[in-house]
Structure 1
Amino acid sequence: MNETLRQARVSALTLFVFALVATALMAGVYALTHKIVAANEQAARLAIVSQVLPAGGYDNDPARAAVTLSAADGRRLGNDGPSQVYIARLGGRMVARVFEATAPNGYAGRIRLLVGVDAQGAITGVRVVSHKETPGLGDYIDRAKSDWIDQFNGLALTRDSEWKVKKDGGRFDAMAGATVSPRAVVGAVANTLRFVAAERTKPGQWDTQPVPAREPTGARP
Structure 2
Amino acid sequence: MTKRRSARSFPRTITQACKDHTTKLRNKRVPITGGTSGIGLALAHALVAKGAKVFITGRRQNLLEDALRELKTNAGTSADVATPEGREATLFLAMQALGGLDILINNAGGVRAGRLEHTSEVEIEAMVTVDLLAPILLTRAALPALRASGDAAIVNVSSGIALVGAPFYATYAAVKAGFAHFGEALRRELNGEGIHVLTAYPGGTDTPMMKSNRAGPELGFSREPASAVADSIVAGLESNARAVIR
TM-score of the aligned structures, taking structure 2 as reference length = 0.27
Structure having greater relative contact order (Cα 8 Å, sep ≥ 6): 2
Q: TM-score, normalised by structure 1?
A: 0.29
* Higher percent of residues as helix: 2
Larger radius of gyration: 1
Higher strand share: 1
